Amino acid sequence: MKKIIAINASPRTSWNTGTLIREAAKGAESEGAEVKVYDLYQSEKFTGCISCFGCKLPEHQGVCVCKDGLTPILDDIRSADGLIIGTPNYLGDVSAGFRALYERLIFQSLTYKTEPRSYNERRVPVLFIMTSNAAEDFYAQIGYGALTVI
Ligand SMILES: Cc1cc2nc3c(=O)[nH]c(=O)nc-3n(C[C@H](O)[C@H](O)[C@H](O)COP(=O)(O)O)c2cc1C
């Protein structure tokens, strides 16, 4: 059975982002996947990357050594077959919680070498969802089309 991790990176658990995350989770479940949903802001206290470089040590390669509320989420993503992650648009960007998870998730995988560049042995497909309340015709004016984080 495929294991999917779904993360709502909005502080509001059941509003726009949370609703879409849960609908996407239902879709994956209807296809036979096992889905675990996290409301990121309900986690224990967490931070972004603290630049300790512990993840580059030979004994930890690719695994963030900072222990906090993100640790179980990072562990789950590492063993997942797919990741669904959603954030509200906050000031034209992702939420602060999303950014913290993003730093911790991506930085742990970088080897800081030319080859291989990543400690990961496989790719995890990602469905990225961003909700916002700007009118659609406003998107082009302020360049949301070019907004990419992953
Ligand atoms: C701090 C903050 C900043 C926001 N900035 C934007 C923005 O720049 N552009 C936009 O379209 N919506 C913005 N919004 C609206 C939210 O992105 C939108 O309502 C989103 O769907 C809320 O998601 P939620 O219901 O899951 O919390 C902002 C909302 C907040 C609270």
**C-alpha–C-alpha distance, residues 4 and 7, integer Å:** 10
Alpha carbon of 82 to ligand 1 centroid (Å):
26
Q: The sheet that has 3-8: what strands, in order across it?
A: 34-39, 3-8, 82-88, 126-131
Q: What is the pLDDT of residue 150?
A: 45
Long-range contacts of residues 20-24, Cβ cutoff 8 Å, at least 24 apart: 20/86, 20/129, 20/131, 21/84, 21/85, 21/86, 21/129, 24/84, 24/86, 24/127, 24/129
Q: How confident is the model at residue 148 (pLDDT cuts 50, 70, 90)?
A: low
User: pLDDT for 50-66, tens place per residue?
Assistant: 999 999 999 999 999 99
Q: How confident is the model at residue 147 (pLDDT cuts 50, 70, 90)?
A: low
The CATH class of 3-146 is alpha beta
Q: How confident is the model at residue 85 (pLDDT cuts 50, 70, 90)?
A: very high
Among protein residues, the one with the nearest Cα to ligand 1's atom 26 is: 17
Among protein residues, the one with the nearest Cα to ligand 1's atom 30 is: 90
Q: At what angle do helices 71-78 and 96-107 cross, to 10 degrees?
A: 50
Alpha carbon of 67 to ligand 1 centroid (Å):
29
Query: Within the chain, what is the greatest distance between any pair of CA atoms?
Result: 51
Alpha carbon of 46 to ligand 1 centroid (Å):
22
Domain ranges of the chain: 3-146
β-strand 34-39 against 82-88: which pairing, if any? unpaired
Q: Which residue has the higher pLDDT, 17 or 142?
A: 17
Residue 70 has pLDDT above 80, yes or no: yes
User: pLDDT for 108-145, tens place per residue?
Assistant: 999 999 999 999 999 999 999 999 998 878 877 877 76
Q: What is the pLDDT of residue 33?
A: 98
User: pLDDT for 18-48, tens place per residue?
Assistant: 999 999 999 999 999 999 999 999 999 999 9
Which residues does ligand 1 sit against, CB inside 6 Å? 10, 12, 15-18, 88-92, 131-134
